Amino acid sequence: MTDSTSPPIAKQLYIETVGCQMNVLDSEMVVAALRKQGYSVTKDPMSADAILFNTCSVREHAEEKAYNNLLRLKQWKLANPDRVIGVMGCMAQKDQEKVFDRVPFVDLVVGPGQLHRIPELIENAKQGDRHQLAVSLSRRDGSADEIKRSHETYDPLRDPEMRPTPFQAYLRIQIGCDKFCTYCIVPMTRGPEQGRSPERIVEEAKILAAQGAKEITLLGQTVNSYRWVDGEKTTRLADLLEMLHPIEGLERIKFVTNYPKDMTRGLLETVRDLPKCMPYLHVPAQSGCDAILKRMKRGYSVADYYEMMDRISEILPGAAVSSDFIVGFCGETEEQFQETVDMVKRCRFKNSFIFQYSVRPGTKGAELLEDDIPEETKHRRNLDLLEVQNQISLEDNLKFLGTTVPILVEGPSKWSVRKGQTGELRQMTGRTPCDRIVVWDGNMRQTGEILPVRITDAYAFTMLGKVETNEVVGAHSTESVPELVPLLRP
């Protein structure tokens, strides 16, 4: 990045977000808070006077990229030391002082449990105190209660202007995680699992719906393990769905990420009985081999997972299930990897996010297990599994040919954005109830609507369609084969 010679425009914020939906939501909240302090958001880091990186620690690669991007800002920072650079999110919580060691010109390091302090910390930095550290207690540094309290959920009142699509919103129902899968850093960066109170959640959902949110996605690391105990009464995810369903204006409810063991019959029946609950479930399996699942400490067997899949097919026939897999986990043999391939073939996931194992210092995996699978093997298994999954995604998408599906229109497609399409007529994108991506030659006015779209062609990641309407809405794109839209994931 090159530096600009002109002074920064007052109070411009540039924020870069990587990681999961939790981070996307956190960034939304921080931006809303800073807007109240007079900041506006810029897409150009060079014209900003504050830059925030919202970081992810789930794999080493994401961290290294964040450090490299930060180091590139040295000239920008030195050109005007009044500028503020902050690192927030999971890497801030995990690395703490180490962030300052590696990037000495960083002004603030703020863990995900301390985000409410960002406006104050930026002010402190501007006043000259350029070493602002705000992190939560680590999992061994206090009583259970103290640790919980140091991981505060950051969900102030919502600012609809901050969402890329005002008709879609994330709503946090749970923070942290207590599952301690041996490969995973999240229980360390996000702290103990804590549900938010049903009253707060419903209140927030009502606000979101009144602001125009048609689709709400409930967020939690193991969202279907949600529980809130109040005296005698325990509220679970199914109860929450019942409470949210009547909210006027709300048309689609989704929830991610699910933990296989907690995908109960009761929850599935609730999803079946409530029409606003979408027939889409993201339930990461991680591996199709019992020995590996045990080493990962996932708490279920392959048979348990298959039982869950049968339960889903029985109660929600036609529902789409997606998964995450880690390939090349410690000691994974070729045969054990093949068991994962077999699982993907048997379960026919809508899509799978496939990751190569990355050792995370601070996890049990890093402490006790040897990362003994060569990088080339991990890479090859990743490609092999992806190929199997893509073939399934393509076959199952092709089954939609000729059908008409209700699509929530999200806006111009990535292809349209990249091609620099302007004006009303653009290639548009949206999702089916089961979360499949559809693109068509459409009109910007369709954004935020739920429209009937007839499927005319299909690829592994994207289906092509045509809006079923009497109105002439089509923009004729000059290229006939659209972009295969990549799925968003950390």
Nearer to ligand SAH, 183 or 440 (CB): 183
Nearer to ligand F3S, 76 or 353 (CB): 353
In the list 13, 15, 22, 110, the residue contacting ligand F3S (rule: CB under 6 A) is: 22
Could you say whether residue 20 binds ligand F3S (CB under 6 A)?
A: yes
Could you say whether residue 221 binds ligand SF4 (CB under 6 A)?
A: yes
The dihedral over CA atoms of 307, 311, 314, 317, expressed in degrees to the nearest 10, equals: -110
DSSP secondary structure letters along 204-270: HHHHHHHTT--EEEEE-TTGGG-EEEETTEEEEHHHHHHHHTT-TT--EEEEE---GGG--HHHHHH
Find out whether 134 and 99 touch, Cβ atoms under 8 Å: no
Could you say whether residue 179 binds ligand SF4 (CB under 6 A)?
A: yes
Residue number with the smallest Cβ distance to ligand F3S: 19
Find out whether 403 and 456 touch, Cβ atoms under 8 Å: no
Could you say whether residue 358 binds ligand F3S (CB under 6 A)?
A: no
Could you say whether residue 341 binds ligand F3S (CB under 6 A)?
A: no
In the list 226, 228, 300, 357, the residue contacting ligand SAH (rule: CB under 6 A) is: 357
- Taking residues 43 to 82 in sequence order and writing x for each that binds ligand F3S by CB under 6 A, - otherwise, the string is -------------xxx------------------------
Least gap, CB of 298 to ligand SF4 (angstroms)? 7
Least gap, CB of 70 to ligand SF4 (angstroms)? 25
Please list the helix, strand and coil fractions of the chain in percent, rounded to the nearest 5, in that order: 40, 20, 40
In the list 15, 58, 118, 147, the residue contacting ligand SAH (rule: CB under 6 A) is: 58
> Distance between CA atoms of 257 and 218, rounded to whole angstroms?
9
> Distance between CA atoms of 185 and 351, rounded to whole angstroms?
24
The site partner of 23 among ligand SAH, ligand F3S, ligand SF4, none (C-beta below 5 to 8 Å per kind) is ligand F3S
The site partner of 22 among ligand SAH, ligand F3S, ligand SF4, none (C-beta below 5 to 8 Å per kind) is ligand F3S
Single-letter amino acid code for the residue at 484: L
In the list 109, 177, 283, 369, the residue contacting ligand SF4 (rule: CB under 6 A) is: 177
Find out whether 106 and 100 touch, Cβ atoms under 8 Å: yes
> Distance between CA atoms of 312 and 319, rounded to whole angstroms?
8
Residues 6+ apart with CB under 8 A from 216: 168, 169, 170, 171, 205, 208, 209, 244, 250, 252, 253, 254
> Distance between CA atoms of 276 and 253, rounded to whole angstroms?
6
Q: Residue 214 class from Cβ within 10 Å (0-12 exposed, 13-18 middle, 19+ buried)? A: buried
Could you say whether residue 308 binds ligand SAH (CB under 6 A)?
A: no
Nearer to ligand F3S, 109 or 185 (CB): 185
> Distance between CA atoms of 22 and 148, rounded to whole angstroms?
18
Site for ligand F3S in 79-138 (CB under 6 A): 89-90
Span of 299-307, 356-364, 381-389, 451-459 interacting with ligand SAH by CB under 6 A: 356-364
Least gap, CB of 332 to ligand F3S (angstroms)? 22
Could you say whether residue 187 binds ligand SF4 (CB under 6 A)?
A: yes
In the list 189, 358, 416, 443, the residue contacting ligand SAH (rule: CB under 6 A) is: 358
CA separation, residue 384 to residues 93, 332, 334, 357, 397 (Å): 35, 15, 12, 15, 20
Residues 6+ apart with CB under 8 A from 149: none
> Distance between CA atoms of 229 and 60, rounded to whole angstroms?
37
The binding site for ligand F3S (CB under 6 A) comprises 19-20, 22-23, 56-58, 89-90, 185-186, 189-190, 490
The binding site for ligand SAH (CB under 6 A) comprises 58-59, 183-184, 186, 221-222, 257, 284, 286, 324, 326, 355, 357-358, 360
The binding site for ligand SF4 (CB under 6 A) comprises 177, 179-181, 184, 186-187, 221-222, 259
